[in-house]
Structure 1
């Protein structure tokens, strides 16, 4: 077969109509102008119909209380360092402490609201009920599962559990499921198709599950969702967004959807995902912290966010009309890391919808929403690097016209989650410098002014101790409040091994987490420095599978943190024993970075704590029905072994024909020529066998060839080897 130039096109962004997709139902999604106020179409801006009463008073308590507590803390730290006159270092440390103190005070005051909400079994609103008969749905909702080079079996296992759980509600017919693939690995792509074809043969999935792969990964996940809205959004009133590791209970989905139907002014409702499925010590610590402390924090922010809530990118239901109308994201001027498409798009999408007069709510009081945690600090760091870049981009969006001040506060909090790390580091270094200055500087006790009283350079140790104790109390108070609230929940207590084991678990998590904190501080600080140097994070697949990490690899990654810890220890010890002891928690974490990271990434250590009944969560000891379904469905529909795409096409005629029908149309004259496809087709034609072709094809060429209908003939006719 001769090469045709018409086959060398760059494929369109989505599949053409095929067995994989329903008929298109387009919806216009205009790109938003951040320099102009949004068109709200008569919707109010300040007081929305679903805004809780007395919300302004709650916000006054949170921000007013935080400011008062910050002023008090700053006055105390001022007595420690500047009681006998101001110095440059003293003013700098006062400035840093002001920012850091407000950060932890805001968390503390917000947690007080969450504590009250938890004790009152709040966290709902909008007429949602935890129990009782499920409301009857009348509108259509799409469940969207974006995936990017994820193991297809894991994705489909979670979807099978969700579909079966929805089937049990009796209202499954109100939902369609879309697997939205941005996968670039050709073998994973073909395995996704193979797994999908097997899934849709199941009775509960027939005519209700669809698969779409984009051939151009424009704007990553945000672009994936946006493309779906523009091609299919017109057929659905709502869309439920998931991540590849998300699981949601069918009853929860129905209750959230019913709330959207009952309140046409709501644009988005965010659930509170519980982290489950952890096996390493690090993952089990993450899920324990999320399960015990997370509800208090989420109830707190929901308590004062009201109708100006936030969006976390998954496990949330969105009104499709509101999203299409207001959430079309522009590209920021300039190049990455600060320019280009918006990485942390979820915060911005929520802010833009709220700007357009749509309410954004969080309902942390409903159970049934789940996700997984990365298995190690290293995997968290890789994910955080991308989030850090995305959140710092928000600085360019912060002053966009028409945003609600609470939406701006979400962006500031997101930025602060990373900026606080270098500020803490500067604060520690300034403390050492002040101590060094007082140790080596020979003061002039009497000034040139006539006075009977000398100027004694002095850091008040009693005031310093009091400030330290007060700061640690405010920092740890949310954990203490969460522990108290959990102790009042007899059902949860019975599922986590009792109050004694719960208290020991909190102690274990706090101690190990405290030692890890300075390592995380340096990781985030290095990420910010990397971004300021202009380095883009790229788009990497998230590791969700436990894997052994060799000591050699950990040593290679973390020796620099140990070296920094040793240098800090020597500096602190050379100044004074008291300074060394004051910094000991930070120094221990850094010096022991290598064994700490290796130990917490261990599955054996995680299983030992589980067997000892520590760090338990209710979902682990008494799994809910939807998680039981995940376990039941964990037996894959097909072999879980990786498949080679050419071999699969050669041996499976059904897969090959379905794959061909889902490919984009041929190139039109004048369209760009696809160079990887051109070179890939030549290599495929000239190779005597598929194996010989595979030896010569790059990954990009292989993916391009698989997107060309003419290539299917070569793949079928050529021998495998």
Structure 2
């Protein structure tokens, strides 16, 4: 077909393919209600507080922070006594310094758990809204925001429909609107999202209540996605409930936190505690069990001493739209990636800026009905951790910001510490090896430079060292015991976990497997920190869900370095002394077993085996809430219908979908002023040069294909080729 003939077909393609007129479709978006969201400088001065902190908060913080400090002083003294036998060498000094930093980290977690133990014994409300009884009636309107990025549409839309049905059954639907905010770059998934949105709206009679918007450019990722919605539609809504693609929440949970926002006009954010659900692999079941058993105790502790200065985790939380707009416009950090540019781990910073603006930020872990999914394998966790690591290390540039509350700065420090501690543990292990090597092979100095009655040589006190090790392990493991005891004294929870004995065996299994995985994650996080400090950007990859199986070859490539490092460490310890090798066995064994551990825990077979014998079960698995049952049922029904087939052929074969797609394109698919994106121009040229649809699709890159489907003229040319 020559160019003239092809252009003639393009001009008339819509008329030729529409024998009958396509009925007008309801708009995919409501009328805009703009709300200004200025970018906030990190040098802004502090704002005056708008509320009074609750009584006793200073004492709680003194208990957690001061208690951790006192424990660290005691542990540091004992470690010094271990190492100072025969004088403290430079290597021993390094080991001591690292031990103090790392013990302070675990001591802080321990005192937080003690605070959680005390808080768990109290009755709570959601900022004055009772936890029991019928949910209160709402006077304001809330937008539920579901950001999505190249996710499986069936899963996303199933969760949203389950929430919609739950609110409808509770009689609260009139107080909520739903927005699917797509940042999807895969053209096939994009069209599947649009088809799923149209079907969801038809199934639920959701015209005027359920909306869909896709951004052509993913400016500033999720933070930019939410900010774009705020500036276009935020003026209509008092509050917004931010979800994740895997989020599900009950109507009871949603209505109570919305009511709490109405009751407390000084509050800017209320964060729930999402429970991990939907585990299929053994690794996911381990995370699910640990999060459900230990997570509430830790979160109770955080809420106990954070008070109104708490944190935001980016999803399953309600935010006051005006407070977020006026305070949380994120600046770009100066410098090059990975430290410069847009802020990746945006949620901590948004919470800090909202708190700086004088609004309270609360966490309510005692409110049930908030759910999410976890990564299915150690490989997926390592990939996600690489992105989070980069985002948290960026926070070092935000720490000096003016006007931040000191607890907000502490949140940023703990986020940084959660990754910096991994290389510190590794360095301490290596320094310990060198110290043992020094003690084994360095002869005593009988004539030290300073006067001494005794020769100087590196030596340690093995008995005291054993007690320091036992004490450190107790500080690490006792919070798990506290959580187990809290569960034992709650009959409903105990039955939900399968009884005290079965839960104890689950705790032991989780501790053992997590102990083997810990050295693997230590090396992975250390490598992530090293590559980030070297200037490598980790990018933004969508999270896998469901099955965590990874081909053996890929697993070997990813984790062979961990295994080789374990071999080297084991050989070094064995050459120095057999007792040292036995001391380091937990670390060495975890590294040596890295590949089989990843393969075993990442498959469904092991997860199913544990499920059959009732280990690592959680209450939501034994008696799933109705909203989770519906989400699973709907996802199963939608998987085939919303399978992401080839986008252009799908549009060609479905006139209604094509009409809706064209109607949803920004600016009608015309180039907006200032849009000089290369993908659009290259896609248009490639499509013009192609003789067939197959040839055009083969020539387009994924980003060019998306650009082609977003350009009205290029889309018409593609359809004409079909």
Q: Paired residue for 1:684?
A: 687
- Given the alignment of the two structures, is residue 44 of structure 1 paired with residue 49 of structure 2, yes or no? yes
- Given the alignment of the two structures, is residue 675 of structure 1 paired with residue 683 of structure 2, yes or no? no
Task: Go from structure 1 to structure 2 and tell me whether the alpha carbon gap of 1:669 and 1:243 turns closer, same or farther (over 3 Å shift).
Answer: closer
SS of the residue corresponding to residue 637 of structure 2 reads coil
SS of the residue corresponding to residue 43 of structure 2 reads coil
TM-score, with length taken from structure 2: 0.94
Contact map agreement 1:167 1:204 (CA 8 A) in 2: no
Contact map agreement 1:377 1:597 (CA 8 A) in 2: yes
Task: Go from structure 1 to structure 2 and tell me whether the alpha carbon gap of 1:447 and 1:328 turns closer, same or farther (over 3 Å shift).
Answer: closer
- Following TM superposition, by how much is the alpha carbon of 1:668 offset from its aligned partner in structure 2, in angstroms? 6.9
Q: Paired residue for 1:299?
A: 300
SS of the residue corresponding to residue 710 of structure 1 reads helix
- Following TM superposition, by how much is the alpha carbon of 1:554 offset from its aligned partner in structure 2, in angstroms? 1.4
Which moved further from structure 2: 274-283 or 194-203? 194-203
Task: Go from structure 1 to structure 2 and tell me whether the alpha carbon gap of 1:150 and 1:668 turns closer, same or farther (over 3 Å shift).
Answer: closer
Q: Paired residue for 1:130?
A: 131
Which moved further from structure 2: 545-554 or 318-327? 545-554
Which moved further from structure 2: 660-669 or 276-285? 660-669
- Following TM superposition, by how much is the alpha carbon of 1:711 offset from its aligned partner in structure 2, in angstroms? 3.2
Q: Paired residue for 2:100?
A: 98
Contact map agreement 1:163 1:204 (CA 8 A) in 2: no
Q: Where in structure 2 are the equivalents of 1:281-430 lying within 5 Å? A: 281-430=282-431
Contact map agreement 2:126 2:260 (CA 8 A) in 1: no
The CA deviation string for residues 18-38 of structure 1, in whole angstroms up to 9 with x for no partner, is 811000000000000111215
Task: Go from structure 1 to structure 2 and tell me whether the alpha carbon gap of 1:431 and 1:386 turns closer, same or farther (over 3 Å shift).
Answer: same
- Following TM superposition, by how much is the alpha carbon of 1:564 offset from its aligned partner in structure 2, in angstroms? 0.6
Q: Which of 696, 699, 703 is the matching residue for 2:699?
A: 696
SS of the residue corresponding to residue 634 of structure 1 reads helix
Q: Paired residue for 1:14?
A: none
Distance 2:96 2:672 in 1: 67
Distance 1:133 1:392 in 2: 44
Q: Where in structure 2 are the equivalents of 1:546-695 lying within 5 Å? A: 546-637=547-638, 639-665=641-667, 671-695=674-698
Q: Paired residue for 1:120?
A: 122
SS of the residue corresponding to residue 200 of structure 1 reads helix
Contact map agreement 2:85 2:458 (CA 8 A) in 1: no
Distance 2:273 2:450 in 1: 64
Q: Which of 5, 16, 30 is the matching residue for 2:38?
A: 30
Distance 2:366 2:576 in 1: 51
Q: Paired residue for 1:10?
A: none
Q: Paired residue for 1:109?
A: 111
Q: Paired residue for 2:191?
A: 190
Q: Paired residue for 2:14?
A: none
How many equivalent pairs are there? 701
- Given the alignment of the two structures, is residue 62 of structure 1 paired with residue 67 of structure 2, yes or no? no
- Following TM superposition, by how much is the alpha carbon of 1:602 offset from its aligned partner in structure 2, in angstroms? 1.6
Q: Paired residue for 1:220?
A: 221
The CA deviation string for residues 73-105 of structure 1, in whole angstroms up to 9 with x for no partner, is 000000011243222112111111111010000
SS of the residue corresponding to residue 587 of structure 1 reads helix
Which moved further from structure 2: 619-628 or 78-87? 78-87
Distance 2:121 2:352 in 1: 30
Distance 2:412 2:192 in 1: 38
SS of the residue corresponding to residue 211 of structure 2 reads strand
Contact map agreement 2:140 2:175 (CA 8 A) in 1: yes
Contact map agreement 2:267 2:359 (CA 8 A) in 1: yes
Task: Go from structure 1 to structure 2 and tell me whether the alpha carbon gap of 1:276 and 1:37 turns closer, same or farther (over 3 Å shift).
Answer: same
Q: Unpaired runs of 5+ in structure 2?
A: 12-24
- Following TM superposition, by how much is the alpha carbon of 1:647 offset from its aligned partner in structure 2, in angstroms? 0.6
Distance 2:79 2:153 in 1: 54
- Following TM superposition, by how much is the alpha carbon of 1:452 offset from its aligned partner in structure 2, in angstroms? 5.2
Distance 1:33 1:18 in 2: 40
The CA deviation string for residues 432-489 of structure 1, in whole angstroms up to 9 with x for no partner, is 1111001011102465777655556431011100100000000111111111111111
SS of the residue corresponding to residue 558 of structure 2 reads helix
What is the aligned-residue RMSD (CA, Å)? 1.9
Contact map agreement 1:677 1:701 (CA 8 A) in 2: yes
